Structure 1
Amino acid sequence: MPVLSFSLGRDNRRLLGKLVVIVVAMFGFGYALVPMYRSICEALGINVLSLSERLTGVQSAALPRERSTQIDYSRRVTIEFDANARGPWDFKPAQATLQVHPGEMATVMYTFRNRQDRTMAAQAIPSYAPRQATAHFNKLECFCFNEYTLKPGEERQWPVVFYVDPKLPKDVTTITLSYTFFEVPGKVAQAATGAGI
């Protein structure tokens, strides 16, 4: 019996030693993961800025601002903004045009005001020209993703956050982004009827 207990004790110590080595190796790997991730991103040219920094343009003063390798600085694309309203309300972009580099994040604001004396539900539908630009115009945030209910006289502003894919054909130098804002028929009437039940 004493020989068996001595053998079990040695096996336990050996197993404990292996487990300690595994724990230390896992801790070391976790500690080295962040620098490895940064090195890989830099080597591949992946932009590691957070979305909020890209949207606001705010970056820590301690960090040097570097040019993104995902942006094609060799050319500019003119984006024209168009707004059409189907009904008695105001709908317009804050600016008519904007020049961007392909891959560069940009934001444009749209204003909508309900000039009617009743609440309305409405939604915007986008369209693009030329047609081949559609696949290369990427919206990250857009009021066209949702339907809205506006009270009489209510005014709202909505952003469109977008970028143009650097794979946009070189012969496309201007893209027109057009929105048609229209009322969703019967939507407000249904909501009012449901609320009264």
Structure 2
Amino acid sequence: MENQTDDQKHSKLNTQMFGKLVVIAVMMFGFGYLLVPIYKQICEITGVNILTSQEMKVKPIDNSQVDKSRTITVEFDANTQGPFRFRPTVNSMQVHPGEMAQIVYEVVNTQARSVEAQAIPSYAPQQAAAHFKKVECFCFQQQTLEASQAKQMPVVFYLDPALPKDVKTITLSYTFFEIAGREKKAELKPTELKQAVAG
């Protein structure tokens, strides 16, 4: 009889514990669910870390680092070593130092096979290289072109306002060349890439 009483007590305790765990789990789920709206409300009240839809529509402020007193001519050039047609969509553009600009290069794989390729940039005059800042460039990574594929590849850049005053024209030139095979590509080091362009 005592055993049954002990079993009943344990069963009752287990039921109570299970009920408490269920309540705690529901409360935790509810807290997690309400956390985002509560956080937004707190941010609205305090004015911290909030972007309203109206603020998101505001036009970006002009970059105060743009030197509108200077205009630099940037010329674009393209060379190939491999089965490609490769060219810039425009030959040159006028930019102010500090101003964001974009140029698009077009490449066509003239082969009936997939080709791995890499582009290496060069600059003239050489001193301009340190002041030519690329934000986005197809030269950052190797390219895979399928058979007869045409591709447009953007370069987003700006010229550092510290560019020497005597520099009026900069030429950005790319050499686009085929890399022989995936295994070879993985083994190429920066010095070997330069040799591949030179060779």
Specify if TM > 0.5.
yes
Question: Whole-Å Cα distance in 1 between the matches of residues 78 and 140 of structure 2?
Answer: 16
Aligned length: 139
- C-alpha change, 1:190 and 1:93, in structure 2 (3 Å) is closer
Of residues 102-111 and 84-93 in structure 1, the stretch that sits farther from structure 2 once superposed is 84-93
Q: How many Å apart are 1:152 and its aligned residue?
A: 1.1
In structure 2, the residue matched to 1:80 is 75
Is contact 1:120–1:188 with CA below 8 Å preserved after alignment?
no
Question: Whole-Å Cα distance in 2 between the matches of residues 136 and 69 of structure 1?
Answer: 18
Name which of 105, 125, 130 aligns with 2:125.
130
In structure 2, the residue matched to 1:99 is 94
Give CA deviations for 1:62-101 in whole Å, capped at 9, x if unaligned: 54x7543110000100000001011221111110001000
In structure 2, the residue matched to 1:143 is 138
| Paired residue type of 2:166 | D
Structure 1's consecutive aligned runs of 4 or more residues displaced over 6 angstroms after TM superposition are: 188-191
* 1:23-42 alignment, distance < 5 Å: 31=46
SS of the residue corresponding to residue 106 of structure 2 reads: strand
Name which of 77, 83, 90 aligns with 2:85.
90
Question: Whole-Å Cα distance in 1 between the matches of residues 81 and 185 of structure 2?
Answer: 21
TM-score by length of 1: 0.64
Q: How many Å apart are 1:188 and its aligned residue?
A: 7.8
User: Structure 1 stretches of 5 or more lacking a match?
Assistant: 1-26, 36-58, 192-197
SS of the residue corresponding to residue 133 of structure 1 reads: helix
Question: Whole-Å Cα distance in 2 between the matches of residues 106 and 190 of structure 1?
Answer: 31
Question: Whole-Å Cα distance in 2 between the matches of residues 123 and 80 of structure 1?
Answer: 21
Q: How many Å apart are 1:165 and its aligned residue?
A: 0.2
SS of the residue corresponding to residue 68 of structure 2 reads: coil
Q: How many Å apart are 1:190 and its aligned residue?
A: 8.9
Q: How many Å apart are 1:145 and its aligned residue?
A: 0.4
Give CA deviations for 1:136-167 in whole Å, capped at 9, x if unaligned: 00000000001111111011111000000000
Larger Rg computed on CA atoms:
2
Q: How many Å apart are 1:189 and its aligned residue?
A: 8.9
| Paired residue type of 2:76 | F
| Paired residue type of 1:130 | P
TM-score by length of 2: 0.63
User: Structure 2 stretches of 5 or more lacking a match?
Assistant: 1-41, 51-55, 187-199
RMSD: 2.6
Identical residues among aligned pairs (%) = 53
